[in-house]
């Protein structure tokens, strides 16, 4: 499969080597072009393109970049948007359906509390300090996990805790934090509507998928001066 924007053979960029059908950027500029392609792909991740579909995207990109005669001249912006919306809706429905058994099983965990919003909250260590309000800023350590246990974020590994404005946090985090006290730890199981919603998180969290956060609340207090 040819790579979009990545040292494209059609552009004949010097120093670009091909390995087993894939182009390998060698120069700094080629590496930057590669990252441009990665960024564009992330922006269009909702389309979940197949290898065959990617060939059509490549063809349109090539014809436009090289000012060659396009295979078609119709402008179909609305149709492209409709296709993206349709595919996103399908992915959200699939993600939510796949999350149901996970959420049902999590709700049966000992000590788990299901709130009115749908958040599943389980205290792991009871804190003894104050609880945050929605207007506070907190310092936390956390782990973010997919349903299969894959870790997608970890402040412990980053070597320092994170500071969050409760009011700006994901809904499940904002609600969960206000149920905690400083010094406490908790496990939050978040349906998609309380986490990354229909968008997901690029190529990490699928649209409509539930996620888990394990939180350690270190500090809380009013938002300081900037």
Cα within 13 Å of Cα(177), Cβ side: 28
0.85 exceeded by the pTM?
Answer: no
Task: Give the mean model confidence (pLDDT) for residues 38-48.
Answer: 70
Domains in the chain and their CATH numbers? 9-65 (no CATH), 97-222 (3.10.50.40)
pLDDT tens-digit readout, 139-160? 999 999 999 999 999 999 988 9
What CA dihedral angle connects 49, 50, 51 and 53, to 10 degrees?
-70
pLDDT tens-digit readout, 52-90? 878 877 777 777 777 766 656 666 677 777 877 888 888
What pLDDT sits at residue 71? 59
The Cα–Cα gap between 211 and 188 comes to: 8
Q: What angle do CA 150, 152, 154 make, to 5 degrees?
A: 110
Tokens of 151: 């870790």
Q: Return the closest-CA partner of residue 210 out of 114, 67, 66, 69.
A: 114
Secondary structure string (H, E, C) spanning 122-163: EEEECCCCCCCCCCEEEEEEEEEECCCCCEEEEHHHHCCCEE
């Amino acid at each position: 499969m040819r790579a979009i924007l990545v040292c494209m053979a059609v552009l004949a960029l010097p120093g670009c080597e091909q390995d087993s059908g894939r182009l390998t950027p060698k120069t700094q500029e080629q590496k930057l072009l590669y990252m441009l392609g990665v960024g564009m792909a992330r922006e269009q991740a909702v389309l979940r393109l197949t290898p065959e579909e990617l060939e059509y995207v490549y063809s349109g990109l090539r014809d436009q970049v090289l000012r060659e005669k396009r295979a078609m001249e119709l402008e179909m912006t609305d149709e492209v948007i409709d296709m993206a919306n349709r595919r996103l809706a399908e992915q959200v429905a699939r993600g939510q359906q796949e999350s149901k058994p996970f959420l049902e099983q999590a709700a049966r965990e000992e000590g788990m509390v299901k709130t009115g919003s749908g958040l599943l909250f389980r205290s792991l260590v009871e804190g003894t300090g104050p609880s945050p309000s929605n207007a506070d800023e907190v310092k936390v350590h956390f782990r973010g996990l997919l349903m299969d246990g894959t870790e997608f974020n970890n402040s412990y590994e980053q070597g320092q805790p994170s500071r969050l404005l409760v009011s700006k946090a994901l809904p499940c985090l904002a609600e969960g934090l206000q149920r905690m006290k400083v010094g406490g730890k908790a496990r939050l199981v978040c349906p998609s509507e309380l986490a990354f919603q229909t968008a997901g998180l690029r190529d990490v969290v699928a649209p409509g998928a539930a996620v888990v956060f394990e939180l350690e609340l270190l500090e809380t207090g009013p938002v300081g001066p900037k």
